[in-house]
């Protein structure tokens, strides 16, 4: 659509959901997700995360990620893969062990070799490192950072590049949608990798936004340009725009405007290549589980009707 290479929706692997008794809703969900032309790309919201793919050291399980990958293939949708090295939804064994730097390096290399190896050739892009930064731009004190320092980021990108040389390698994080200390931190990561001649091709702006206080389109464009001028592409990778519940005509109108501006910011910058919304159907959104009294963050309502947000997206494309 328009200047973007793709407009996608992330989805959870059907195996993780309870379908019994809800067959009609899932039929409608699948029709929009897979059969319609609404989305040309997808991302597994959970199935490729460390917790699920390597729950024990050296024990790999690709069941859930493969469900989404094979549906994507069957329906001609491109796949963004998510996420190789992240402090959250990490298998407990990684955090519970006292690693020497040498051991943890091997853990990271073995994980990426197995996971990126399993999906080799299937991923348009990999989120190689997810959420390495604090809001002030300093590094998050994850197990990876505590043992290896910023070297773990170099190792993760270097390893993924070797294992799947055709995937675009992304650094992905939230609150990168307006210029800040955190966007500077992400720029620093891009420069660090480029200076070390290690491939990085993109920065993913998760774009978990708030309808009542979104970035302005100018701020959003400035943040995107801050990355594209370093010679990497940008994508909005997990776009959703939550409301304070309940939904009202007023906050739904604010949400529409915010979607229009977020997608519009990407459309207006040459190096911003695609947008993925973090699921499309409100009942399957992660938002209500994490943000108290917030929700209705996606373009499709509970009854599968399209919300004003949908029109906002269409107007921007
Ligand atoms: C979320 C999933 O949507 C939820 O189902 C899960 O319980 C928690 O993670 N940033 C990310 C995503 O990079 O992986 C997160 O996805 C949302 C925040």
Q: Which of 88, 209, 288 to probe ligand 1 with, by most ligand atoms within 8 A of CB?
A: 88
Long-range contacts of 113-116 (CB under 8 A, 24+ apart): 113/159, 113/163, 114/53, 114/54, 114/60, 115/48, 115/53, 115/54, 115/60, 115/62, 115/84, 116/81, 116/84, 116/159, 116/160, 116/163, 116/164, 116/167
- Inter-CA distances, 68 with 88, 111, 119, Å: 21, 20, 12
- Inter-CA distances, 73 with 66, 79, 141, 187, 255, Å: 10, 8, 37, 33, 32
Q: What is the pLDDT of residues 48-107, one digit of tens each?
A: 999 999 999 999 999 999 999 999 999 999 999 999 999 999 999 999 999 999 999 999
Say what the pTM is.
Answer: 0.97
> Residue 1's pLDDT band (boundaries 50, 70, 90)?
very low
Helix, strand, coil in percent for the chain, rounding step 5: 45, 20, 35
**Per annotation, catalytic residue among 38, 54, 64, 238:** 238
Task: Evaluate whether 4 touches 274 at the Cβ level (below 8 Å).
Answer: yes
Ligand 1, atom 7, lies closest to the CA of: 286
Q: What is the pLDDT of residues 217-230, one digit of tens each?
A: 999 999 999 999 99
> Residue 18's pLDDT band (boundaries 50, 70, 90)?
low
- Residues with CB under 6 Å of ligand 1 are 45-46, 83, 130, 206, 238, 286
User: Which stretch, 1-15, 23-37, 293-307, has highest mean pLDDT?
Assistant: 293-307
Per DSSP, what are the bridge partners of residue 242?
A: 210
- In this structure, what token pair is assigned to residue 53? 């793919």
The ipTM of this complex is: 0.99
Task: Evaluate whether 130 touches 172 at the Cβ level (below 8 Å).
Answer: yes
> Any alpha helices (H) in the chain, and if so which ranges?
23-30, 50-53, 63-74, 92-96, 101-118, 143-148, 151-163, 181-195, 217-228, 249-268, 287-290, 308-316
Task: Measure 50 CA to ligand 1 centroid, in angstroms.
Answer: 12
Give the position of tokens 């659509």: 1
Cα-flanking dihedrals φ and ψ of residue 265, to 5°?
Answer: -60, -45
Ligand 1 nearest-atom number relative to CA 127: 13
Q: What is the DSSP string of 87-112?
A: SSS--HHHHHS---HHHHHHHHHHHH
Q: What is the pLDDT of residues 182-208, one digit of tens each?
A: 999 999 999 999 999 999 999 999 999
Q: Which of 45, 48, 129, 209 to probe ligand 1 with, by most ligand atoms within 8 A of CB?
A: 45
Give pLDDT, residue 15: 54
Give pLDDT, residue 223: 98
User: What is the greatest pairwise CA distance in the chain?
Assistant: 56
Task: Evaluate whether 45 touches 279 at the Cβ level (below 8 Å).
Answer: yes
Task: Measure 276 CA to ligand 1 centroid, in angstroms.
Answer: 13
Verify whether residue 38 is a known catalytic residue. no
Sequence-distant (6+) residues with CB within 8 A of 166 are 121
**Per annotation, catalytic residue among 64, 131, 158, 257:** 131
Q: What is the pLDDT of residues 112-126, one digit of tens each?
A: 999 999 999 999 999
Ligand 1 nearest-atom number relative to CA 130: 13
Q: Is the peptide bond before 16 cis (omega within 30 degrees of 0)?
A: no
**CA angle, corner 20, sides to 53 and 303, nearest 5?**
100
Ligand 1 nearest-atom number relative to CA 279: 3
Domain boundaries defined on the chain: 6-316
Task: Measure 45 CA to ligand 1 centroid, in angstroms.
Answer: 6
- How far apart, in whole angstroms, are the C-alpha atoms of residue 58 and residue 107? 9
First vs last Cα of the chain: how many Å apart?
A: 6
Verify whether residue 131 is a known catalytic residue. yes
Ligand 1, atom 4, lies closest to the CA of: 286
Determine the topology of domain 6-316 in CATH.
Answer: TIM Barrel (3.20.20)
Task: Measure 286 CA to ligand 1 centroid, in angstroms.
Answer: 7
Average pLDDT rounded to a whole number, residues 147-170: 98
């Amino acid at each position: 659509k328009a200047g973007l290479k793709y407009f996608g929706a992330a989805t959870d692997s059907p195996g993780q959901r309870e379908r019994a008794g809800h067959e009609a809703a899932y039929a409608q969900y699948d029709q929009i997700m897979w059969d319609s032309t609404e989305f040309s790309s997808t991302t597994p919201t959970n199935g490729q995360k460390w917790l699920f793919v390597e729950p024990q050291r050296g024990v790999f399980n690709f069941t859930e990620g493969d469900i989404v990958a094979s549906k994507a293939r069957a329906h001609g949708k491109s796949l963004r893969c998510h996420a190789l090295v992240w402090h959250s939804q990490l298998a407990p064994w990684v955090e519970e062990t006292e690693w020497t730097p040498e051991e943890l390096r091997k853990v990271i290399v073995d994980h990426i070799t197995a996971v990126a190896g399993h999906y080799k050739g299937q991923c348009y892009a990999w989120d190689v490192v997810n959420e390495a930064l604090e809001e002030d731009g300093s590094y998050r004190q994850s197990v990876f950072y505590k043992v290896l320092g910023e070297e773990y980021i170099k190792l993760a990108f270097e390893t993924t590049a070797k294992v799947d040389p055709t995937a675009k390698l992304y650094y992905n994080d939230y609150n990168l949608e307006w210029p800040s200390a955190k966007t500077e931190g992400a720029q620093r990561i891009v420069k660090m990798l480029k200076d070390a001649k290690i491939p990085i091709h993109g920065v993913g702006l998760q774009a978990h936004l708030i309808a009542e206080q979104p970035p302005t389109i100018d701020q959003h464009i400035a943040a995107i340009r801050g990355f594209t001028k370093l010679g990497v592409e940008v994508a909005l990778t997990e776009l959703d725009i939550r409301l304070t519940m309940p939904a009202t005509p007023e906050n739904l109108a604010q949400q529409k405007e915010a979607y229009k501006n977020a997608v519009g910011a990407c459309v207006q910058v040459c190096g911003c290549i695609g947008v993925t919304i973090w699921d499309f159907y409100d009942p399957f959104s992660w938002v209500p589980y994490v943000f108290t009294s917030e929700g209705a963050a996606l373009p499709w309502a509970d009854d599968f009707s399209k919300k004003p947000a949908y029109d906002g997206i269409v107007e921007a494309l």
